[in-house]
Structure 1
Amino acid sequence: MLSKVLIAWPLLFAVLIVPIDAIVKCNGSELSARSDFEVGLLTEKQCTHVIGDIFIMNLNFAKRMPCYWSVREVHGSIIIRNTSNLGDSVNFQNLRTINALDAPALVISKNYRLKLGIGARLGHVYTRNPTTYYIAHNWPRMMTESQHYTLYNAAAKDRPVFFADYFFQTTPCAETAYKTLAAIFGCVSFLVAIVLIFWACYGRRPKDLKY
């Protein structure tokens, strides 16, 4: 009986773990859409490894495209160009690696109201192209998360080169509250310093003085 239990446990773990770590390879064309019509032709497979460039072009309005959610590695470039009002439809939340060839690893160009989703797992980006990231001619110019600059910079295998026509900016969190706390702390510190100075000069009793 015990031997049967010992044999059953590895089989149970295999059933539970294998589907989670399964590798599903797809061609870049299966995840590419060059028009609104081709969105309906995107693969329904949960691709983890993509061979070839991914083209997302000439799309209009928000769409449901879950085929990008499971992608972990792209052996090619991700090119998003000439889209309008996609919002956060394009989400590579599990992307870890981009190994591009002759094109920049990431090309985001001529998009209107695009908010690209990139997860924090991105850790390796490489391309033979002199430009690592090409991000230009988008509106509004703050069309990616402000944290992306740090993520892109740290993920690049070599020193990354950005071609961008805008600056990544950050907004202080609860700026007014921090300013108020800083002002209160400054005033309290000033008053405490005045009290200590006054006590040091005039607060000692005569018996404490040494002649």
Structure 2
Amino acid sequence: MTSSKSGPPGSSGGISGSIAGDLEPCGACGRSVAPRALFCHACGAAQPPRPLDPFTRLGLERRFDIDLDQLAKQHAGFSRAMDPERFAARGPRQQANAKAQADALHDAYEVLRDPIRRAHALLALLGGTPVTDDEDEEIADLAARLARADDAPELDRIGLDLGQRVEACIKYLPPAFRKAQGTGSADGNALEGAARILARLERLEAMAADARARRVARTQPHP
């Protein structure tokens, strides 16, 4: 990856600029523009966003255990660079491109800040397939326990138990993905292992949300 300024001429921001890939001509000056370029480094024109995975769009390594502080900084820096108001003097087309870039950056940020969405994005990039038919007796027992729960203290206990299991799954995902990526090309068996942890995480998170909703319903005054 090369580094270059990420604002139009006259700016002083220094944010990572372009990546290797198919170059396309700038719509304003015709010079070649790299896939992740926010603007043309020759004329400063805001470019429409290209189809990119969320990691690449925000200049981060494709891995599950990303630095969330760095994610926030990257998002904030790129978003400031593509504030449509910075391109007001360049006309409505430039402002529209800048807004489209800012929206794409925000979408990528929302994916990467959420562990489940981040794991799905990485799984897809590695060629993995989500698990939909995983039989898990422990999950089934927890679901039955939640279905029987009829008072606030029991819902609190179940919610705490589910929360701990959710955190455990999130903790297990980084080494699972590192194992899958460790050989330089995705390991099919290790990738399936990561997919199974992800499936378990999703089911636990769904039950935790259900427990929270039912707990709130029991504390709300009845009309």
TM over 0.5: no
- Higher share in helix: 2
- Higher share in strand: 1
Structure with more relative contact order (C-alpha pairs < 8 Å, separation 6 or more): 2
TM-score (norm 2): 0.22
- Between structure 1 and structure 2, the one with the greater Rg is 1
